[in-house]
Structure 1
Amino acid sequence: GAGSEVEEIIAEVFAEVLHLEKVSVDESFFALGGDSIVSIQLVSRAKARGVVFTPRDVFERRSVAGLAEVASRVDADAPRKLAELPGGGVGDVPLTPIMREVLGWPGGFDRFSQTIAVNLPQDITADVLERTIGAVVDHHDALRSILDRSDDAATLRIRATGTVDASSLIARVEVAAEISDTDLTEIASRELDSALGRLDPESGSVLQFVWFDFTGDTRPGVLLIVAHHLVMDGVSWRILLPDLGLAWGQIVAGQDVRLAEVGTSLRRWAHGLVEAAPSHRDELELWERILGEPDPLLAHRPFDPAVDVTSTVERIELTLDSRQTEALLTSVPSLFRGGVADGLVAALGLALVRWRRDRGVESSSALVKFEGHGREEAVVPGADLSRTVGWFTSAYPVRVDL
């Protein structure tokens, strides 16, 4: 029947995004290794097959069977799609709360970015690479952003398609195929540094590509993609990378590039947040209460801008064994009906309270700044951000009270 067909589609998409052979209808998406970012991919791919549910549904229902109960078929009563503004995705974008916060940082943020490296097809040419990148930059508005800070109120402006010349975004670096890993790492970090130096949102430079082209045909090239954080987040990479692959495939097959359409533009969403803000004013009291409790220093002194900089940060890496990993990812979330984050935050709260107590500071709670993917479509009804590239992250305070 129709119900079992919906279940089948959802089960296929579960397996696809989680890279599993098959899944049972009762298993939890999160226990199987899903997270909030992958849930957006799940929603997007199910929708492409005519089955509609929201990221919130995934969180509340969790299993294939549970989602099948609330999912609707697109052809029947398609949900009202949010109408775009005149000009579509091109034009002024009011800054989202996270953008506003970062623009207020001392010390500049031009190099504030996300980076990823991908292997290129063996025989790609400069022309094909340029056209591939050009097609994707034309398809995703955020990648044509320019930050306008001329007056007190900064805005992000999205330029029309065809205005960004893809060749200007690519730096080609020829490297001998037999180069040692040590030398390659050294060249790559130097090139990354200079790509970061070319980022400048105020002049519209929000994206850079470094093409490591190995001489001879022995090894495929590597493309380093450097995106300013203003235009990129964890979900966006999962949209951008497949689109680059698809555009390349269409170009080499001699076809026109046709990428799946974007639901709601970044511009429409940002305007929608501004319109929605007044109706959330009654939540302010909660956030003020969370922030109002004490948050004692962790060390004996406050941050010192002369000493406490990125270059002096030390990293400690720990490896969890399979038993601990199993507990963290599977047993704890299922026992407490939560996600992986709940166990981690509880542990962090315990650690912070104990750390302070060991240093003579009594404080029974710990304040943590928490990030979410921010694509809470219910805030702007009808929005569909499953295919929208941009920086949607939200940050909010969480108090672990012991």
Structure 2
Amino acid sequence: MPHSPTATGTGDLPGAGLVPLLTTLLADLLGTEIEPDQDFFAAGGDSLTAIQLCSAAGAQGLELRLADVLVAPTVQQWADLLADRAAGDAPAAASGTAESARVPLTPTLHDFLEEFGSTRHHRNLVGVFRPLPAVGELELPAIDLAALERALARLVARRDSFRLRIRPDGAGWRQESVAAGAAVVPVERYRYEGEPADGPAYVEELASAAQRRLDLGDGPTGRVLAVESPGFTRLVLILHHLVADGLSWPLLVGELGEYYEQERAGLPVELPAAGSFADWAAAAVGRAGRPEARAEQQWWVDQPWEQAAPLPLDHPELRGSSTAAAEVFEWTELDPARTAALAEAVRRRPELTLPDVLLAALAAACDWAEGRPVLLKTVGHGRPAWPGTAPEATTGWFSTHCPLLLPTGGADSAERLAAAVAARTAVGEGGTGFGLARYLGPPEVRAELAARVSWDAAIDFNYLGTLRASAAGPFEELDEPAGRIFDPAHLVPCPIRLTSYLAEGSLVTRWMTSGPLWERSTVHRMQRRYLAALEDLAALLGAETAHPAAVADQADGADHADHDERTTS
């Protein structure tokens, strides 16, 4: 829950007083309490959790930076650092670019436009919320549209990712940030007359239509739908991916909820300083020209991409029919008890991460590769702690795509796990350097990587961490459908997309596979081998042996699941 307008900042909290607050924030993220002098990473933390911690601390008025967590990884060190920082001169608040300005395209946006150029306006994140009743009351409150519109205006002024615009420019694209007054997130009000039980379907229909009415060139890049009746009230927040990725989403939702509460109470209070996506974009371009980046560009060129095994597609001739609408959604799952045992085993091995285990399981599932590596399109949060930047306080689309050659030739689970760790750790900064090389490097480097690395031959691999409903102050986020997050006619490059996450204590992997390209029997065989490999890995790491869960075929539920991708994609 975001802090209230009367919450105190670091100036009122000495270092000792910050420890309980930081410990509580961290326990909410890790699912377990740690001691003030316990190493954050040894306790199961990672860079993704570190970014979430910085965002949660920022909502409490604490200026905890990503670099702080990475360099001094204990609660006590953070508390001391924050107390020292509060004793100095506070930096001036920043709210991004105030007036119109040219903004360079980041590698993430180059990648997006390369794939989604013709359908660029429809690539969204969406959430469905309902207002919470006041304490001691049962009736749902009405949505105060005037307060909501004022809150949105303040959020747009604060966050320059709302004000980014992309238009064709000759043979390429041009991005700029427009002035705060030129960007609006419209609120649309609908009166629902049907039965409450049928309300979610009505909201999904409205949201599906609204998602097709965003515009990257002229705006808006976000919409809000307010649907009300005496027994049914919903608020739908639709943002283009340009505005937010999965880590930006809860930050924006929390700030909108806080601004809304302030506007209803008539007590506007400014939030801590915000970072600027325009500044981040400029830093990325500058980073691509540094000597160390040039050296890494050559590393990417030197990788043996041609050794990757081709995917064993059953019907490669149907590639032109492999659209988003033709994807089949299925889930595999380990139950909470087995998941907890596996997670605890990983925590006891500081050199391992849960994604390493998932990679090793995937390697076992790819026995068709006959010992050759498999090309993965891995998804990262895209927020390295570069000097002079504050990615944890900035919203926008940071998440990156990076190729990884996953070894599959291990004789057993132990060898596959070691190979997965080695492959992952060989890539620095979560793979951010690949995007710098592929899209901002010298022309010859860009051309070679474009020719040798194709997502059409890759498996999309994404780990989201723990899924949680976003804290929205007076609103509660619901798991209800809101339509497709991108155009159903969009051609999906990766024939297999895997998204794994922890939800309600279970380790879940969502398989999104091309209906035209695969026979179901081929996909189900991979799923069975994947789950069996997870069982073997759990046993290897000292966890209780788990039995593979059944595969749940949920092709008809694709729309319902789409919005979950926002966590990092």
Give the equivalent residue in structure 2 for 1:343: 357
SS for the counterpart of 2:249 is: helix
Work out which of the residue numbers 68, 76, 85 in structure 2 matches 1:74: 85
Contact 1:61 1:67 in 2 (8 A): yes
Provide TM-score, normalisation by structure 1: 0.82
State which of 307, 322, 328 in structure 1 corresponds to 2:336: 322
RMSD: 3.4
Q: Does 1:139 align with 2:158?
A: yes
- 1:200 alignment counterpart: 215
The equivalent residue for 2:294 is 281
Identify the residue that residue 378 of structure 2 maps to in structure 1.
Answer: 370
Instruction: Work out whether 1:170 is the aligned partner of 2:187.
Output: yes
Q: How does 1:115-130 map to 2 (within 5 A)?
A: 115-120=126-131, 122-130=141-149
User: Structure 1 residues 113 and 179 mapped into 2: Cα distance closer, same or farther (>3 Å)?
Assistant: same
Q: In the alignment, residue 16 of structure 1 is paired with which amino acid?
A: L
Change in 2 beyond 3 A, CA 1:173/1:253: same
Does the C-alpha gap of structure 1 residues 89 and 164 become closer, same or farther in structure 2, counting only changes over 3 Å? closer
Count of residue correspondences: 382
Equivalent residue letter for 1:108: T
Residue 115 and residue 188 in structure 1: after superposition, are their counterparts in 2 closer, same or farther (change >3 A)?
same
Partner residue of 2:106?
96
Tell whether 2:399 aligns with 1:393. yes
SS of the equivalent of 2:365 reads helix
2:51 and 2:192 map into 1 onto residues whose CA distance is 38
| Identity rate, percent | 26
d(CA) in 1 for partners of 2:91, 2:267: 33
Match of 1:229 among 237, 241, 245: 241
CA spacing shift, 1:173–1:81, aligned 2, 3 Å? closer
1:51-102 per-position Cα deviation (integer Å, ceiling 9, x unaligned): 77653564576543576798883146789999999x6575111111011011
CA change 1:32–1:113 in 2 (3 A) is farther
Contact 1:18 1:33 in 2 (8 A): no
Change (3 A) 1:303 1:97: farther
- Secondary structure of 1:203's partner? coil
Contact 2:309 2:372 in 1 (8 A): no
CA distance in 1, matches of 2:16, 2:304: 43
1:35-54 pair list within 5 angstroms: 36-46=47-57, 54=65
User: Contact 1:147/1:156 (CA < 8 Å) preserved in 2?
Assistant: yes
CA distance in 2, matches of 1:198, 1:46: 35
Deviation at 1:394, TM superposition (A): 1.8
Q: Give the deviation of 1:239 after TM superposition.
A: 1.3
Q: Which runs of 5+ in 1 are unaligned?
A: none
Answer whether contact 1:369 1:396 (CA < 8 A) is retained.
yes
CA distance 1:237–1:291, shift in 2 (3 Å) = farther
Amino acid at match of 1:225: L
Which piece of structure 1 moves more, 200-209 or 33-42? Answer: 33-42
Q: What is the deviation of 1:271?
A: 0.9
The whole-number CA distance in structure 1 between the counterparts of 2:35 and 2:121 is: 47
Letter in 1 for 2:281: A
Please tell me whether the aligned partners of residues 44 and 347 of structure 2 are also in contact (alpha carbons under 8 angstroms).
no
**Contact 1:333–1:343 under 8 Å retained in 2:** no
Separation in 2 of the partners of 1:370 and 1:269?
A: 22
The alignment status of 1:111 with 2:122, answered yes or no, reads yes
Instruction: Report the Cα distance in structure 2 between the residues aligned to 1:174 and 1:32, rounded to whole angstroms.
Output: 49
